[in-house]
Chains A and B, each alone.
Chain A
Amino acid sequence: MTTYDLIFYLFALIILVSAFIVVAARNIIYSAFSLLFTFFGVAGIYVLLNADFIAVVQVIIYVGGILVLIIFGVMLTNKITEVEIKTESFQVLPSIIISGIIGGTLVAIFTKTNWKVAEPQILDKTVTEIGRFLVSHYMILFELAGIILLVALIGSVMIARKEKLETEEVEK
């Protein structure tokens, strides 16, 4: 067992445990925080896979952006003053079966398939290369992504704001 393997198992454990908490925790705050660990773990996996730039992006966007957003969402939609912020689950049994089957099948497929694996290459300048890719080969997609982000930004503001305007009108 090499160090590499060890680190992998460590991260895998972190991810799985924290993801399990995310899924299973009754208190939504716990879920939110353990999601943080999941994201970190995934970032670690990325590093292991020679994707340092993506790992960094993962930390910045997921941890810095999305997670904060989610926690805001939690706080805005639950009366935070109430001590117990618990949520319930339903259709647990079928979901366990379904996700179990899906997970099992996927694992089975992944492990049984004879992947045509090449020798992993270690690239040094991933950031430069990704940058070059983004403005050459994937330029249209890149710009589209920008537009999507812009639209999402405006859209979410609109969605959140519109209701407010209408309620104001009603109040008037």
Chain B
Amino acid sequence: MSGIPYLTLVTFLPILGMIIVLLIKSEKIQLIRITAAIVTFLQIVIAALMWSKFNFSAAGINDQSSFQFVEKVRWIEIKNLADWIGTVKIDYFLGVDGLSMPMVLLTALISFLGVLASWNISKGIKGYFALYLLLDTGMMGSFVALDFFLFYVFWELMLLPMYFLIGIWGGPRKEYAAIKFFIYTLFGSVFMLLVMLGLYFSTYEILPDGSKVYTFNMLQMMNPVNYSKEGLLSPFNPNNLRFIAYIFLFIGFAIKVPMFPFHTWLPDAHVEAPTPISVILAGILLKLGTYGMMRISFPIFPEITNQLAYWIAVFGMINIVYGALCAMAQKDFKSLIAYSSISHMGYVLLGMASLTTQGMMGALFQMFNHGTITAMLFMIVGVIYDRAHTRGVNDFGGLALQMPVYTGITTVAFFASLGLPGLSGFISEAFVFLGAFSNETIRILAIISTLGILLTAAYMLWTMQRIYFGKLNPRWENLPDVNKLELAALSPLAVVVILFGIYPSPMLNLMNTSVNKLVEIVVNGQVTFSNLSALIK
């Protein structure tokens, strides 16, 4: 490790911001907001710097030397006190590769825009921004952590601020939504914790002096050589529980995605959460589920991933079609967008399950695009809700006459969401289908999933028509168009959406080396993890 610790900076800058915010008197509202904005903006600057220094040909995934900006310091070490504990050793191990770099950029971008969208939060501003910045650290940390324990710590770190942000600043049924979110995700993390400990007690790391210690290092877990002979989750153990562990871990992540049938917390949480929190939730938090699968489940359990890919794709398909159909029936603008999120995350699942480069790349890019597009959609809902204090889709009409700029931006977001070519959503969806269709076993699922394209177009345009077209409802004659602040929050996203729709290579080149490596690991993993006899010497 040398030079500037970019990842530590980018991860803990918000914590620093939180401390500053806490030191500011709660009456100085403007100062608090500006501090939060500056901190998150600095985050973007650092992320952009990292992007510019990123080595596009380094793969990462299971090889520490090709990770970038790696920081590895012994964090917790307990010496060999007793036989059964052994030495406990946990690293502060951060690094990025092509899988996490896009997510880091996304997190930085959305966090900053989320601050702008939070400008008109009116109660408890100090607490709000403090929690918001804490949440930011949790998210960023989860994306850059390479030690499972550290990952888990960041993962849990997100829960608490989210709970309060929904529970205090939310809508009428905020307590219900917050508790539901909290218990649901906690339920998922318990599963994850079990698998984490199971893996810990099955993997050895060999120290330079030749002694073996258990390890939380994800990269070590990806290599079958490091497993102990009798560990519960060790492939060498004929009675291992890897299959069950995979399902547990998958459920843990699937709740976050959220995957059918674990998705019901999402509409509630979205509808009750304040706009910027919905933006964060949909824009970043959901990605953690699929990111976790790609970063942890797939390379650590490649043989089971191959076995279950079909079922992941089935759930992806259900998410796509089911989410779209449910969205069509919603009367509340926000829950409509929430269900559309479910539908769009289905593409990510489908793409991952194809186990092809195109599909995975599509999935990863869809994660990024869904982050930007849905963030935009929720901000759009926020704009209208701030003005009209209602979100009923049928309550509006003719807003295109009253708010032309707003309608223009909405058009971009809606069409991006329904996958119009030239906007970023299309590229990722197309890739997902390219991948899924190339895989013979899930080809039929890909064909059924194309229904999603159709249904998305149908409900998006229907919504568009009901809210923006037609005669202006006289009730809304005095609604002002978007103000400068809202425009500042929305237009960067619109630019990103259009830019990556026309020329996605800057983002795709970031990913392709890593994605290819991941595909190779997963597909070959079936062989390496099944023919273990060769490894035992």
Interface residues of A (CB under 8 A from B): 113-116
Contacts and interface: CB of A to CB of B under 8 A. Distances in A.
The 9 A-B residue pairs with the shortest CB-CB distance in the complex, in nearest-first order: A113-B82, A114-B83, A115-B82, A114-B82, A115-B81, A116-B81, A116-B80, A113-B83, A113-B84
A144 to B, nearest CB: 14
Contacts, number: 11
Contacts of A113: 81-84
Contacts of A116: 80-82
Contacts of B83: 113-114
Interface of B: 80-84
Nearest to A110: B82
Nearest to B79: A116
In this complex, which of B80, B81, B82, B84 has the most chain A Cβ atoms within 10 angstroms of its Cβ?
A: B82
A115 B84 CA distance: 11
Contacts of B84: 113
A113 B81 CA distance: 9
A65 B82 CA distance: 37
Nearest to B80: A116
B85 to A, nearest CB: 9
Contacts of A115: 81-82
A115 B82 CA distance: 6
A18 B80 CA distance: 35
A101 to B, nearest CB: 19
A46 to B, nearest CB: 21
11 contacts: A113-B81, A113-B82, A113-B83, A113-B84, A114-B82, A114-B83, A115-B81, A115-B82, A116-B80, A116-B81, A116-B82
Nearest to A113: B82
A115 to B, nearest CB: 7
Contacts of B81: 113, 115-116
A101 B83 CA distance: 22
A116 B87 CA distance: 13
B27 to A, nearest CB: 16
A113 B83 CA distance: 8
A114 B80 CA distance: 11
A143 B83 CA distance: 36
Nearest to B82: A113
Nearest to A114: B83
A116 B80 CA distance: 9
Given A113-B82, A116-B80, A116-B81, 8 more contacts: A113-B81, A113-B83, A113-B84, A114-B82, A114-B83, A115-B81, A115-B82, A116-B82
